[in-house]
Amino acid sequence: MIGGRYVLLDGLGRGLMGPVWRAEDRVTGRPVAVQELPLPTGLSTAEHAAFRERLLREARKSGALGDPGLLGVHDVLSDTGTDHVVTELLDAVRLSDHVASGGPLGSEEAAGIARGLLGTLQRAHAQDLVHGAVRPGAVWLAADGRIALGDVGLARAAGPVLPPLAGPFVAPEQRAGAPPARAGDLWGLGETLAASGAYGAPLHDLVVALRAEDPEDRPSVDEALAMLDDAEPARRRGWWARFTR
């Protein structure tokens, strides 16, 4: 039991900072996901309090946005000295698992996922909400077709107290110690698409642009969406044909 109301049922894998469990909210009866957010030992009380304040600020921004492209944050709480974030639980599979079991994405599926994630990032960035750790394991593909990002804002909240994130999905400037920023989310999206098999036509040029080493050379979300439009002429012709018959 976490926080006196969330009963942990079984594991769902690992999130950005710690293990994630399927759980039941005993107050509302709804299923939820609970992620543990362990921090390094030796932090001062002030550092821990500052982390919680940053975490709450990012959670409030995410909740206020109410975007279907973001996993909804229900609660942020501390239990026996460890922080946890409680989010909605989707009937969904991680993109990383989807590719591992089904193989590389087809061009149409890849373009649909790219468009969904770009739209979510466009709305989030407009409200100063930076994800900070876009990667295949943070992308959820729901049974009803919804595409949602998890771990929203955790990298930004934890950045000042954790070592810089590592790995190919983390932008070079962020690996070097820069805080999470919009351009880093675009890098993460490019690496996510490449790792999911979307590096060939018609998304090749978009993926290359998103993976530019210099953040100044990466397209903005709006520019990336325009590139995606240009990469899908068949889709746009099909859309126009419905109105010109």
If asked whether residues 136 and 53 sit together in one domain, one would say no
If asked whether residues 10 and 111 sit together in one domain, one would say no
Question: How does pLDDT run across 24-47, given as a tens digit for each residue?
Answer: 999 999 999 999 999 988 899 999
Answer yes or no: is 110 within a domain. yes
Structural tokens at position 130: 């930076």
Cα(67)–Cα(62) distance, integer angstroms: 8
Q: What is the pLDDT of residue 208?
A: 96
C-alpha distances out from residue 93 to 17, 111, 141, 143, Å: 19, 18, 5, 8
Answer yes or no: is 36 within a domain. yes
If asked whether residues 96 and 72 sit together in one domain, one would say no
pTM score, whole prediction: 0.91
If asked whether residues 51 and 117 sit together in one domain, one would say no
- Spell out, as residue ranges, where the chain has pLDDT lower than 70: 233-245
Answer yes or no: is 217 within a domain. yes
Cα(206)–Cα(225) distance, integer angstroms: 9
HEC sequence for the chain: CECCCEEEEEEEEECCCCEEEEEEECCCCCEEEEEEECCCCCCCHHHHHHHHHHHHHHHHHHHHHCCCCECCEEEEEEECCEEEEEEECCCEEEHHHHHHHHCCCCHHHHHHHHHHHHHHHHHHHHCCCCCCCCCHHHEEEECCCCEEECCCCHHHHHCCCCCCCCCCCCCHHHHCCCCCCHHHHHHHHHHHHHHCCCCCCCCHHHHHHHCCCCHHHCCCHHHHHHHHHHHCHHHHHHHHHCCCC
Q: Give the residue numbers spanning the domain of 65.
A: 6-88
**Among the listed residues 198, 200, 180, the one whose alpha carbon sits nearest the alpha carbon of residue 114:** 198
Q: What is the pLDDT of residue 244?
A: 35
Question: How does pLDDT run across 157-200, given as a tens digit for each residue?
Answer: 999 999 999 999 999 999 999 999 999 999 999 999 999 988 78
If asked whether residues 186 and 211 sit together in one domain, one would say yes
- Number of domains present in the structure of the chain: 2
